[in-house]
Amino acid sequence: MEQKDLQEIGETVVKTKKKRTRPDRQPQTDPGDNAKYIRHSLRLTDLPRVDMTDAPAVKKRVREYFEICAEEDMKPSVTGMALALGVDRGYLWMLRTGNKGKNPDVVNTLKTAMALLDNQMVDYMQNGKINPVSGIFLMKNNFGYADKQEVVVTPNNPLEGDKDVAALEEQYKASVPIDTEGTEVEGAESE
């Protein structure tokens, strides 16, 4: 083979060995997307602070957040809702889960809003509208989903702890090997 032929073969091998990534796993960023996301976040931070003890105000703000997302064609998120409420998502989680001393109407409003966000995420995942890896991460971190199996261990107590020693001796007497003279065989294992 000539040097030229070997070089062409080498170039062909290199071209075919290029790493091919699946399009659904690549960030889908169009020109102007970053500006759109920044403006959306800035709009949320510009909202007047809401009193987190005032149930009607919290409910109004949650609705306003979802309306802003719909108007701007943005996916709602836990972090976005927290930003619109003027709190961080950790505080939002704490209000939902550790609600001692908190206004129950506020807690119920937030639980409903989180259920709506959870439902949205499930819909996105089922309909291929979000990267599966991102969806799994968000669902585990924001909605308590987990990859786990429940294992139930049931103790098997062959001695049946409630019996006294005499009852146990009587129960297991038949399993002790006896030699032909009627005495127990030392070191014999039961069958």
Q: What is the mean pLDDT of residues 171-184?
A: 70
More confident call, 91 vs 60: 60
pTM exceeds 0.75, yes or no:
no
157 pLDDT tier (thresholds 50, 70, 90): low
Q: What 3-state DSSP class applies to 178? A: strand
- Region 168-182: mean pLDDT is 72
What distances in angstroms separate CA 24 from CA 33, 129, 130, 187, one per listed residue? 17, 10, 9, 69
State the helix-helix crossing angle for 89-97 and 104-126, rounded to 10 degrees. Answer: 110
The radius of gyration of the chain's CA atoms, rounded to the nearest angstrom, is: 33
User: Which one, of 61, 80, 60, 59, lies nearest residue 69 by Cα?
Assistant: 80
User: Over the chain, what is the mean pLDDT?
Assistant: 81
Confidence of residue 90 (pLDDT cuts 50, 70, 90): confident
115-127 tens-digit pLDDT: 999 999 999 989 9
- Pick the closest to residue 86 from 108, 130, 118, 53 (CA basis): 53
Cβ neighbours, 10 Å, residue 183: 8
Is the CB of residue 120 less than 8 Å from the CB of residue 76?
Answer: yes
Locate the domains of the chain by residue range.
33-143
Task: Identify the pLDDT of residue 39.
Answer: 95
